[in-house]
Amino acid sequence: MPEPMENKRTLVQRRSEDDVDLVVIGGGVNGTGVARDAAMRGLRVALIERNDLAFGASGNSSGLIHGGPRYMLNDPHVTATSCRDSGYIQAIAPHMLFRVPFLMPVENKGQAKIMFALTDAFFEAYDRYQPLKRGKKHAMLTADEMRALEPGLRGDMIGGISFDEWGIDGSRLCTANAVDASEHGAKMFVGCTVEKIERREDTGEVVAVAWRDLRTGQTGRVTTSTVVNATGAWAPITASLGNIAPTRARVRPGKGIHVVYDRRLLNYAVSARTIDGRQIFVAPWQNMTIVGTTDDDFYGDLDTVRATSEEVRYLEQGVARVFPQIHTARAIGTYAGVRPTLHAYGPHEDALSREHEIVDHTRDNAPGVYSMIGGKLASYRIFAEEMTDMLAARFGVGMRSSTHERPLPGGDKAVDALKLATSMEIDPVAARRLVYRHGSRSLRIAERVKETPREVSTACACEPVLEAEVRYVVQHEWARSVADVSRRTRLGLGACGGMRCAARCGQIVAQELSLRPREGLQQAMDFLAEKALTRAVALGPEQARQEALAIASVRAELGVEGPLAGEDGAL
C-alpha cells in the first residue's frame, strides 16, 4: 500500500527552467501507467526506458487481468484491487481484453469430497469479486462435465470448478499507455538507459537525470525536480544511480517462465499442480497454447533472463498429469520475466505478497525521488493513480485521475473486423488480429494501405502481420528493431519462429529508420539467434538438430557470416 498521503511534503514549485516536471524511469506497465496519468493531469513528463517498452515483467507475464483467487486468503486487498482495476481496464481497452475461463480439476484422492466442498466454498467467496470485473460465477462440475468441456482432461478426478478470468497482451498494454502519454505531451526515450540521477549535494534534491542511448551511444540529460523509479525488479539498482541505498527500494525478484506450443490445444485454461504442489496452468493463448509459470528467487542478470530446460520439464511434468496431450504439441518457444515482488525474508516465493508500495525517498535525504515496488499487471492503473496522486499533491495540481474512464488509444470505438477484412481485401484472421492489437487505430493502418496498396503484403504469415503494421509501429510506437516489432505485433512468434519473416522485417525497419540494409539483416539474425536460444531449452534432441540446420540455411541464404550477437554455441 502507498504510504499515507499525510506523509507527503510541502508543495513544490514547478520550475519553469526544468525540461520536465517529472522523469519516469522504466517503460513497463507501471512506468507507462504513471507517465500517462501524470501527462493527462498536465504535468510535463519524460519517460526513459533502457531496453524496450514491456521488455521486463510486463511483456513476459501470464497476462491475466485477474483477481488471483490464490491471493484471497492472505492478501484479500490484492484480490479486491485487482478485480476493481480489471473492470476499469476492460472499460478503457475493450479491444485488448479476452475472456479466459478456467477449469480446476479436483483430484479423487484422500478426503476428496471434503476437498471438493471446501474448494466450492472458497470460490463462492471469490464470486463476490466477480461483478467488479464482469466475471461469471464459478460452477461445481462433475468429472464427466469437466471432460465434456475439455476432452483432453485425464487423471482420476472427483470433479472440478470453473471460474472466470480475463487476459491481455501485456506488451500492447504498455505501448497503448506510452502512446497516450506521448499524445498528452510526454517525451519518450526508448532504448536509453538512465546512468545517473543527479542530486544537489547540500539538499539532496533532484536536479537531472542522465541517460545514454544503448544503440547509438548518444548521451543526454533531462533536468527535473522529480523522479519516479518504476523499474520493477531493477528498482534497487536504479535507486543506487541516485546514491540511494538499494535496500531502500528492495524487491525479492522472482523468475517466472512460460512454454509456448505451436497450436491451440484447448479452449479452457486448466489449472494443475507441480510435483511440489505449486499451482500452474495450461491455457489457450491467441492461436497457441502456453504453460506457466514458475516462481523462483532470481539472482542473475535482469537484462538476459531465459528459461532453462529444467524449468520447462518441471512445468510439462505438472501439466501432463491432467492434460497429457501437451506432449503431442511442438514447443516453439519459451519466455521469461522477473517479478518485482515486495521483499520478505522467509516465505516461499509463491507465498509472497503481491501488494504494491510507494517508497518516498525523502527519508533517504533524496526528496523528489519515489520508487514503485511490487504490484501486478492487473492492478497497474490503480498503482499508477496512487503514485500520480502523490505527484499531484507535491506540485499542487488539483486534477484527479481520469485514467479509469478515458479510453486508451484504440479503445474509443469498436471496429468490425469482418468489414475491415473486406475493405482492406485481407484475410479475416489478419483483420481480427489488427483490431485486437490496435482497436480503432487499425483504421489508421487501413488508411496507409489505401494510400500505398503494396503495404498490404504479409510480413509474417504465421501470426499474421501486414507490412503496413510493421511500418506503423516503427513510425508511431518507437519500435527500432525486429525484436521491438515482434513485441508490438507478435511478428516471428509463430510456428516458424521468425525464419520466414525476420529478414523482411529487418529490411522494413532499416528502410523506415534510414539504416544500412546490412543493419536490418543483422537485426533479423540477432532476433533469430535469440529466439533459437529461448526455444532450444524446450526442444528434444531431434527437433534441436533440425532447428540448427534451419538456422544455418537461413544464414547461408542471407549471406551472413561470422558469429551472431548472443550466439554461444548453445545450438
Ligand X SMILES: Cc1cc2nc3c(=O)[nH]c(=O)nc-3n(C[C@H](O)[C@H](O)[C@H](O)COP(=O)(O)OP(=O)(O)OC[C@H]3O[C@@H](n4cnc5c(N)ncnc54)[C@H](O)[C@@H]3O)c2cc1C
* Contact set with ligand X (CB under 6 A): 25-31, 48-51, 55-58, 60-64, 193-194, 230-234, 238, 256, 293, 337-340, 375-378
Residue 146 · residue 103 · CB < 8 Å: yes
Of 342 and 558, the one with the shorter C-beta distance to ligand X is 342
Nearby residues of 217 by Cβ (< 8 Å), 6 or more positions away: none
Query: Taking the complex as a whole, how short is the minimal distance between the CB of residue 179 and ligand X, in angstroms?
Result: 16
Nearest distance from C-beta of residue 31 to ligand X, angstroms: 5
Identify the H or E element spanning 39: helix 29-40
Question: Shortest distance, CB of residue 279 to ligand X, whole angstroms?
Answer: 12
Q: Which residues pair with 131 in a beta bridge?
A: none
Nearest approach, Cβ of residue 189 and ligand X (Å): 8
Contacts for 386 with CB less than 8 Å, ≥ 6 apart = 2, 356, 358
If the CB atoms of residues 225 and 293 are measured against ligand X, the closer one turns out to be: 293
Helix-helix angle 541-558:517-536, to 10 degrees: 180
> Whose Cβ is closer to ligand X: residue 84's or residue 504's?
84
Q: What is the SS3 assignment for 420-485?
A: HHHHHCCCHHHHHHHHHHHHHHHHHHHHHHHHCHHHHCEEECCCCEEHHHHHHHHHHCCCCCHHHH
Nearer to ligand X, 30 or 325 (CB): 30
User: What is the grid cell recorded at 116?
Assistant: 471438493
Handedness of CA 285, 291, 296, 301 (dihedral sign): negative
CB neighbour list of residue 203: distance below 8 Å, 6 or more residues apart: 367
- Comparing CB distances to ligand X, the nearer of 338 and 524 is 338
CA distances from residue 415 to 6, 423, 446, 467, 471 in whole angstroms, order as listed = 45, 12, 12, 20, 21
DSSP string, 401-419: P-TTTSPPTT-SS---HHH
Minimum distance of ligand X from residue 110's CB (angstroms): 30
The closest of 430, 420, 409 to 180, measured between CA atoms, is 409
Comparison of 18 and 311: residue with beta carbon closer to ligand X: 311
Kindly tell me which of 387 and 521 has the beta carbon lying closer to ligand X: 387
Compute the distance between CA of residue 381 and CA of residue 486 in angstroms, rounded to an integer.
Answer: 25
- The least CB distance from residue 423 to ligand X, in Å, is 35
Residue 214 Cβ, how far from ligand X at the closest point, in Å? 10
Closest CA to 477 of 529, 408, 390: 408
What whole-number distance in Å separates Cα of residue 194 and Cα of residue 443? 36
* Minimum CB distance to ligand X smaller for 175 or for 507: 175
Which residue do the cell numbers 507475464 mark? Answer: 61
Give the residue with the Cβ less far from ligand X, 86 or 523: 86
* Residue closer to ligand X (CB basis): 333 or 375: 375
Give least dist CB 436 to ligand X, A. Answer: 18
- Minimal CA–CA distance to 8: which of 386, 541, 507? 386
Q: How far is the CB of 213 from ligand X (least distance, A)?
A: 11
Which has the closest alpha carbon to 275: 310, 228, 306? Answer: 310
Cβ-in-10-Å burial (0-12, 13-18, 19+) of 459 comes to buried
Nearer to ligand X, 233 or 524 (CB): 233
Closest CB 457 distance from ligand X, rounded Å: 31
CB neighbours of residue 273 within 10 Å: 15
When the beta carbons of 51 and 79 are compared against ligand X, the nearer one is: 51
SS3 call for 546: helix
Instruction: Tell the smallest beta-carbon distance from residue 548 to ligand X (Å).
Output: 28
CB of residue 359 to ligand X, shortest distance in Å: 13
Using DSSP, state whether 104 is helix, strand or coil. Answer: strand
